Each structure stands twice: as structure tokens, then as C-alpha cells.
Chain A
Amino acid sequence: MQDTYYLENGQLLKSQTSAAQNAIYKKYKDALVNDGVPIKAIFPGRCFRNEATDACHENTFFQMEGVMVDKNISISNLIFFMKTMLSEVFQKDIKVRLRPGFFPFVEPGFELDISCLICGGEGCPSCKHSGWLELCPCGMIHPEVLKAGGIDPEEYTGFAFGLGLTRLAMMKYGVKDIRDLNSGSLRSLSQFTDDE
């Protein structure tokens, strides 16, 4: 948190897309509570961290976070959802594994690894021979966070996950230097046409 950009008026440039969570809960809680509509939202956005920039680090980058809140959302759902969703994102069958991770806004919190995209889990230089790539934090939304959003954690549970869009773009397109993305250089950036 020491690396957050603060503005003179006390506001700050958001360091994580999680900043949108509270507003999203408040926006959809009535539909959840009154009509039983589960909260399912993703919120991509730009984040800022006061860090020195180099080929692997930027101070301005994109994340995409997602939450799902309903009456019986469980860890089992979270694992299923991450596996299914990531397989779609990477267009191949992905194995996932969870390791304990500590993030104040989820409990339990996990680091989610995916089977290495290059070697499929056998082990190769890209994954430092472990067969796994560290991908994203996720977990069950902390009861205090739900409360702050006006949702009763005794009635409702939910999961949350965060994907690094910048990292995903670099992985997908083989961009080696993260600074290229904000460089404004047409020689690099004009190469990306629609690839749906």
C-alpha cells in the first residue's frame, strides 16, 4: 500500500480494481435480496502503483476483477468457475490448483496456479520446471467486505477473483516489455488487429 498514488485532495489513483466492489454490491444488493438475482459482475479497469518501471513492471496497468454473490456460493463453486473460465480464456483445457494466499478482502484467500501453457504441466523453462504458472489471486469474499456493501454475510456468500489483463495480453501476444503498451509507439502497437 505504500505504493499508492495519492492526490492533493486526499483521493487516490486506484491501486486495484477491487475499489469498485463496494459500489457494485450497493448497486445490486436490492435485486439480490428482494428478487433473488445473484450478483455476477466483472469490472475491468486501469490501476496505478507507484513503482519503478522496467521490462516487467509498470505503474499504469489493467486488471479485471469479478465477483459472484448468492445464497450458496462455495469454494467448490469457485474452483469450478475458475477452471472453466480460464480454459475459455486460454482456449485449452486448463488444470488449476489453489495455494493459500493472504489478501485482506477475501477469506479464505488463494493464489491460483494454472498448468503451464507451454508444457502442459511437464515442466519447462517458461514455468521454471514446476509445471505451474502463478496466475491470479481469488477467494471467498470477506464477510466484512460484504457487510460494508450492505449484504448480510450470514445469508450470502460469494467469490472474487482478479486477472491481470496487462499480463494476460503480454502472455497471449508474446509482448516482452511491458512498457511497450503505454509507449504510444505505432511500430509496436499497430500490429494488433481484431482477432476474434
Chain B
Amino acid sequence: MFLSMNWISDFVDLTGLDKMELIRRFSLSTAEVENDIFHKGSDISGIVVAEIKEVADHPESKKLHLLKVDAGDGQLTDVVCGAPNVRVGMKTAFAKVGAKIGEIEIAPRPLAGFTSYGMCCSEKEIGISDDHAGIMEILDDAPCGTDIKELYEIDDIIFEVDNKSLTNRPDLWGHYGIAREFAALAGRELKPLDCADLAKYNSLPKVDMKIEDNLCQRYSCIQVENITKNVSPVNMRIRLFYCGMRGINLLADLTNYLMLEMGQPMHAFDSRKVEKLRIKRFDAPFMFTTLDAVERSIDENTLMICNDNTPVAIAGIMGGLDSEIVEDTTTLTLESATFDAVSIRKSTVRLAHRTDASMRYEKCLDPEMTVPAIARFIKILTDIDSDVKVVSSLTDEYAVKYDTVNLAFDKKFVDRYTGIEISNDTIVKTLKSLGFDAELSGDEFSVTVPSWRATKDVTIKADIIEEITRIYGYDNFDIHTAKAPLYPVRADLEKTVEDKVKDILVKRYSLHELHSYVWAYYDEYKALGINVEENIKLVNATNPNIETIRKSIVPTQLCQVKYNTGYATDFGVFEIGRVVNGLNDNNLCDEHKMLAVTLFSKTKTVEELYFDLANMLAVLADDIKHNELTFEKTEATHSYQHLKNLNKIFCGEKLIGEIGVVHPLVSKKIDKKASIVYAEIDMADFAEIENASIVYSEPSRYPEMDIDISFVSDMYAPIGNAIKAEECPLIKNVSVVDTYTDEAGKSITVRITFSHPERTLTKEETMAVVDSIVERLEKSGISMKK
């Protein structure tokens, strides 16, 4: 919204104050002002009122005329002018030699064989309107030679406020409300609005108007007649133009002027079209043509202004084509009303049409404003056109009132909230300057919120704090730290585990951490041959490709791997992110935080890579939890899982995740030759594992004995179990030193390390244990390798 300092100065005396500084303070205390501030008229000088005394045709050019102009300097000036509207006796804005218009300095100028000693200006050239059809016609009485800037308010400072920062300040959508803020900031008095005394017209008949719907909070109207003047005063047009509106005709300009001045939108109807003014909604949808000749579909939730049962305008948004003021309109019904903000907002969305008026109605306007707006309108109108007659009394129906908001608080409350020293006097003064009724009794304040702030903005005590402090200025705050007792902060277990996992994977295994979206991608998954699992869906996804929430990170991660196959021959990625595993018994999402890791290699075999990954996970469990993992073969249930090499991961009894080779169909789509393996672990389950503590065991001072035995067996597990079952305290360590496959099958060589803390062991003792183990295994069908 554009604002004019001249207009603001109508209501508060700012002489002697630094206007730019005030605007800066306004930006900090009230609403954001855009960076560009326009000093209108600063680039104009030397333009005066002049009368065209003679007009002669140019001998050669049809468009050009040779003028003799009286610029009030005792002589007639020769001017060549190409405007179509020149005529003798016409007064215009004349730029003398030496005048400046923007970058141009006016000098004598040869034009088609004649010299022009000056330029007659159009309004556009002066910058006061868009009109460039002809030179400006000055109708006001002013002697020739009067500087046009003295005649009209061309000099002005215009600044723009970001509308978004006005969302909760319905009182700031007009210059008067803005002036109130400036008055409070400058410590100057706010002048009252000059309005007509409407009581004068009380004896006149009322307008036949009735509110038939509680979506209209207040409706005020009056009828006027005999508007003969059609052109608005220049200063009014200038202000409207500077504030971004185009001058149309007196009536339209006046309603716009009121809207920009008080923030109250108004509308004028041809009185014949609203003989029985009714405000209501209809039961069934219908078509309606608005002012702009567009046919719109109106539903049963849209409030309409009607003439009895005929819709005449969409309330708060736009008038109908039929209700327009036409040539032979003599009597007008002027509307000044307040409508339910939510309903207006919904209607503008439904109709996909927003206007300056509807924008304001959406903000919860103060219904107390409707009558003063009419009074102000009448005052300005009658000042401009004294022939205008008011032909009805003020007709006002106030259907829905806002409650008065009274707030009470004590000085302690203010001190505590603000943390600064601010005197009672300052508090009362500031609040009063903003229109609040503030009374102090002892240390207790009682405040009544003015109607224009009470519609939704100021409702609780904390809101009053904001009023006091923003005018006080946050720059003026003496800032200091809060003092709080010291307590050690306990780290969250899951978070600690998560950080450790990331550190190990990045630093020790050189994996790369990625993030991905929380939904499954139909197209991308399909391209890899992966099905999207049925799962809870988004209701308002922007595109059906992403409407299902993912149950696992792995498929998305595989897509990411595909995207990166050119990055390196070997790499690994991981993500700690969230998935939703359907709904639980309470119909709520079963959300899990998962760690997903995928390794990709063009140089290693799948077997090597699979063991790499398994070892990586074992290191995580060992390093973070001092615990071991066990793996159990499991059945594939997803399309990306290999049917043969897929294992559940356990830590003790607890299932924490799975590890698998990627299904060849999927793997080949990612890369024809690469080995790709993945694992996914539930972070909460992993974090919950009891941390086995490290127990120091003193190494024996006596030599250890290593015995290697080879067994023929596909799996290590039975061998390991047999050794464990021996429960021999002399066994210090067991490791697999070799695996070998030949015609006899697969054989595994284990090395058992024996040790005694107090003496050297004998061969007999250790062999006895070995024999026992061998016997155990023979019983389950596993024999030593010959």
C-alpha cells in the first residue's frame, strides 16, 4: 500500500521533524516499509500556470500548432506544441526556459522550423496522472506565472508499506490510522477528521434497507442527489495517483479517496436499482454478471446486496453490471458497511477475484467506522460540489457488535515482561496516544481497547505490552541476560547413538550422508522395477507420483544410488530418516526413525561387499553398544530383496533390522555389473540396546597356545555353537583363519587360542578340549577335514 506524507500530515503536524527518520521508526515499530521512498515532485521545477493567448496552425505540420502563451512575465512566449487540445483561453501548465522536468532542462528548442521557448506539459509529464492525451488543463483560478507547485500538492514523499505486515492491523489500511501511529511516534497530537454533521438530515426519510443475514455486521447508507461535477479536484487526483489509483470520475474517486483515507471501502448504487436494499444469501447457486462484464457463478455461501430479491452486488467484493452508475443517474445510495471477514475471504477465494475493497473487508474492519466514513464522504462531497443534496437521513443497522475489550494489569506485569524500566507516565501516555483509554490507580492499570483495535488484534494483556514496547522502541532496550540456576543437561540417548553412528560411518568407512523425501516415488521406483508398497497416503499431494508415504528408506536410496553411478567405482551412502509403517491400533501413523545404508562397488564381488557391510554393522554395535550382532536368514517380502541372501539382524534377542543383497533385476537396472548391498536398522531399537560395559581382563603372563582345526561345514554357526557349548574358561579367543572349498565341500579352519592366567598350559589339557569339541560336532554330522 502506498502512503503519502502530505496526506498523513493532514492529521498530524510534523513540521520540524525529520520525515525520513519517522518513516524509519514506523517501519520498526508498526509495519515494514519497502526500501524505495519516492520524493515526488523533486525532479520538477519552473513549471507555471500560463494562458494560451493565440493559436496558429503550423504551415507544414497538421499536428503542430504555434502558440503565444502568457506565463505571467509581462510578455507573450512563442511555443510550438503538438497537443490536440490546445485552444485560446485555455490555462495550462507551462514549463518555462530553465525549468527542469526529470533529467531534461527546458531550453529554447527548434521544432519544425520554429523555435519553442518552453513546453506545455501533460499531466503525465508532470507526474501527476497517466493522462498524456493532451496538455493539462488548469481549471482552478490562479494568476499566470503561479508556480504549479504552489497551486497543487505536487511535492510529496511517498512510501510503500508491505501489505503482509498489515495483516493483523485492520486500522492501518487508511491514512488516518497511519497518521495515528506517526502521532504516537512523534509525540504529537492526532487531529480529528473533519466530518459533516449527519444529525442535520435526521428529519429526512430513511432508506428502505434491511440486513437479512448475520454475515453483515453493520450496514450504513445515505442517499445523495444532484452530483453535477464530474471531475475531481486536482489535489485529490494527485493523491490518488501517487497512491497507485487512477482518477476516474468524482464519485469513483471519492469512494477510493475515502477507502485510502479511512480504510473503509464504500460503494455507490444508482438509487433506482436498490429501492428495497436487502442484504442476504440465496438458497441455490446462480449466475451473476459483475461490473467488469464477467459472468460469475455465485453459491449459497456468498453474501449479496439485493434489490428485494434481485441480486445487485456481491457484498464486499464487486458491484453488478446492472447497478452501475450511468449517464442519467441522479440519485445515489451510498453504502458504508462491515461484513464478516472470514466469509468475504472465502468468497474471494471461491470467485477467484480479489479487490482493494475485499482485501480490507477480509481484515475484520471496525464497524464503528461506517458512519464516520459517510460523514466524511458527505463533507468532502459538499465542499467540492455545493449543489449536492442529501435526500435521506443516515440509515444504519448495527447487527453484530464486538464486545468492548477491557484489560487490567499491574506495573509488575509490565516490568516482568519487558525487563526494562519504563515509567507509569510513559505507559499511560503511549497507550493514550494510540487511542487506548488508560487509567492508573496505584500500580494497577485498566485499559479499554479502542474499537479499531478490538476486532481481533488486541485481546489480551500481552498485546498491550506490545503496544507499549513497540512505540518505546526495541533499539532503546537495555538488554541483559536471564539468570538461571545451573543444572547439568542430560543428553538424549537416541541422539547420542545417532551422532556416534554418523561419525563412524563418515569417518571410518567414508560413507556419504544423504537426505531424501518422505514419500515413495512411483515413477522412479517403477524404473528400477520396485513396487510402491501400500501405505498411508497424502490427501493433498501436489502430484500423484508422490502421494504414498514410504515404509522404508531403501527404495529411495537405491534410486539415489542409480543417480550417482558415475560418481565413483566404489562408494557408500547412508541416511537416518523417518518412515511410516502403516497405522497402529489408534489409527495413528506408526513412525520409525531408520538408518539405511547402501554400498555400491564395481570392483568388489557381492560376497566381499556383503561381508563389508555386515562387518560395518558389527562395528557399530561393538563400538557403540559393546555388543554383538547375529544374523538370521529370512524370506524376501519386497521386490528389491535378493531371495537367497537376505538376513534379519539381531542384537541379543532383539530384532533391529535387516541386511540384504539387492535383487538382480533391480541391481542391473542401477548398474549392469556393480555389486549393491543394503541394510536398514531401526534407530530406536538399536538405541535401546543395553550398553554392555567394558570389563578389563588382565592378560596372562604365561604364553598362549593356538590350535587350528578344519571342519567341513557350509556354515560357521554350528562350529561356533559347539565351542561355546564347551563353556571352557581356557578358551580365550576363537577366530576363523581360512575358508576353503573343494570337491569335498566347504571347509572352515578355526583357530582356538587357549590361555591360563596362572600357568603354562599343557598340550594334553588343550587337546582334551579340542577332542571334546570335535566329538560334539561329529554327533551333529560335522567332521574334521581329513
Contacts and interface: CB of A to CB of B under 8 A. Distances in A.
A107 B462 contact: yes
Given A9-B588, A143-B462, A36 B485 contact: yes
Contacts, number: 166
A167 interface: no
Contacts of A130: 35
B419 A75 contact: yes
Given A60-B517, A184-B560, A184-B564, A76 B167 contact: no
A185 interface: yes
Nearest to B564: A186
A101 B474 CA distance: 13
Interface in B123-163: none
A186 B518 contact: no
Contact of A102 (B168, B417, B418, B538): B168
A108 B514 contact: no
A157 B418 CA distance: 11
Contact of B165 (A8, A11, A100, A187): A100
Interface residues of B, number: 65
A76 B477 contact: yes
Contact of B470 (A10, A79, A108, A157): A108
B761 interface: no
Contacts of A100: 29-31, 165, 466, 470
A92 interface: no
A182 to B, nearest CB: 5
Contacts of A9: 536, 583, 587-589
Contact of A75 (B418, B549, B568): B418
A74 B420 CA distance: 8
Contacts of A37: 485, 487
Interface string B565-591: 001100101000010000100011100
Contacts of B549: 7
B484 A97 contact: no
Nearest to A75: B418
Interface stretch (B425-433, B539-547, B660-668, B675-683): B539-547
B704 interface: no
Interface in A1-28: 5-11, 13
Given A76-B479, A100-B470, A181-B515, A107 B538 contact: no
Contact of B540 (A6, A129, A142): A6
A161 to B, nearest CB: 14
A84 interface: yes
Given A186-B512, A186-B573, A5 B538 contact: yes
B465 interface: yes
B417 A8 contact: no
Interface string A90-111: 0000000111111000011111
B684 interface: no
A72 B416 contact: yes
B482 A70 contact: yes
Nearest to B474: A98
Interface string A66-87: 0010101111110111011000
Contacts of A186: 512, 564, 567-568, 571, 573
Contacts of B474: 75, 79, 97-98, 110
Interface string A127-160: 0111000000000101100000000000001000
B417 A140 contact: yes
Interface string B384-426: 0000000000000000000000000000000111111000000
Interface string B59-92: 0000000000000000000000000000000000
Given A72-B416, A77-B482, A97 B475 contact: yes
Contact of B518 (A13, A97, A184): A13
B480 interface: yes
B531 interface: no
A8 to B, nearest CB: 5
A52 B463 CA distance: 35
A6 B538 CA distance: 6
A76 B419 contact: yes
A190 interface: yes
Nearest to A77: B482
A46 B577 CA distance: 10
B466 A8 contact: no
B516 A184 contact: yes
Contacts of B477: 75-76, 79
Contacts of A89: none
Contacts of B518: 13, 46, 48, 60
B103 interface: no
A101 B31 CA distance: 8
B617 to A, nearest CB: 22
A57 interface: no
Contact of A143 (B460, B506, B516, B540): B460
A79 B28 CA distance: 15
Contacts of B696: none
A195 to B, nearest CB: 12
Given A99-B28, A100-B165, A181-B515, A7 B537 contact: yes
B159 to A, nearest CB: 14
B32 interface: yes
B515 A182 contact: yes
Given A48-B518, A186-B512, 5 more contacts: A11-B589, A60-B517, A75-B465, A80-B482, A184-B559
Interface of A: 5-11, 13, 36-38, 40, 46, 48, 50, 52, 59-60, 68, 70, 72-77, 79-81, 83-84, 97-102, 107-111, 128-130, 140, 142-143, 157, 181-182, 184-187, 189-190, 193-194
5 contacts: A9-B588, A72-B419, A107-B463, A108-B463, A186-B567
